[in-house]
Amino acid sequence: MKTLANCITGLEELDEYLKNEEIIEFYSTSQKVLDLIYHRMIVMLSPLNLLIVKTYGGLNPAYLNTFKRILRKHEIDIGIRRAFKAEEIAESIKAFEGDKDLIIYNPYGFRKLYAKLIGAIKARRARTIIFSLMDRKEQGSTFGLHIAHTVIEIKEYRRGLGFKFIKSPIVGEIEIKIPLNLILNSYKIELTNWFI
């Protein structure tokens, strides 16, 4: 296992609990909320590998450029693969370099072949972060919930996001609310114009 980076999301309130975790899952029923954190973490963790499952799109260059400015990163290095069939997911995970962090977007979208997918995730030697666009309490792989060290539900509030720890070896079921201006840093006014 490679040394894990202490800064995962760039949000100190969350990173304190996530810094030593190898398998982390974020989920939400709101694509807007999930994509915001997903793109932020791609920039934050670069260089990394990215697997996008079943989704057309799944990577927004405008969001990446926005978070590059916010996080003051001039370059990002991403190895990208797509899995258009359930049978391709596990093989795609295995094909990535073993020592880079891996972000997987929507791995349970096909709703089948969970055992192979979970096996490929467990066999990795680097951090794996999963983003699921669904309510994980009702959908997706139950076994996937068991292998994830930390599972976090992201909720949208009027002026920010809530990160509810559903499963964690460090903390009980708590929710950390973070104002949107901290997630978007000091570029809030300009960001609004870029997102429209």
Residue 93 lies in a domain: yes
Is 128 a residue whose pLDDT tops 80? Answer: yes
Residue 6 lies in a domain: no
Residue 1 lies in a domain: no
Q: Which CATH number is 134's domain given? A: 3.40.50.300
Strand partners, 52: 82, 105
Residue 3 lies in a domain: no
Residue 189 confidence class, pLDDT cut points 50, 70, 90: very low
- Residue 174 burial by Cβ neighbours in a 10 Å radius (0-12, 13-18, 19+): exposed
Query: For the chain, how many structural domains are there in total?
Result: 1
Residue 48 lies in a domain: yes
Q: In whole angstroms, give the CA distance from residue 126 to residue 97.
A: 9
Q: How many CA atoms lie within 13 A of 89 on its CB side?
A: 27
Phi, psi (rounded to 5 degrees) for 141: -80, 120
140-166, pLDDT tens digit by residue? Answer: 666 677 889 999 999 999 999 999 999
Which pTM value belongs to this model? 0.88
Count of all residues that appear for the chain in the document = 196
Q: Domain residues for 18?
A: 12-195
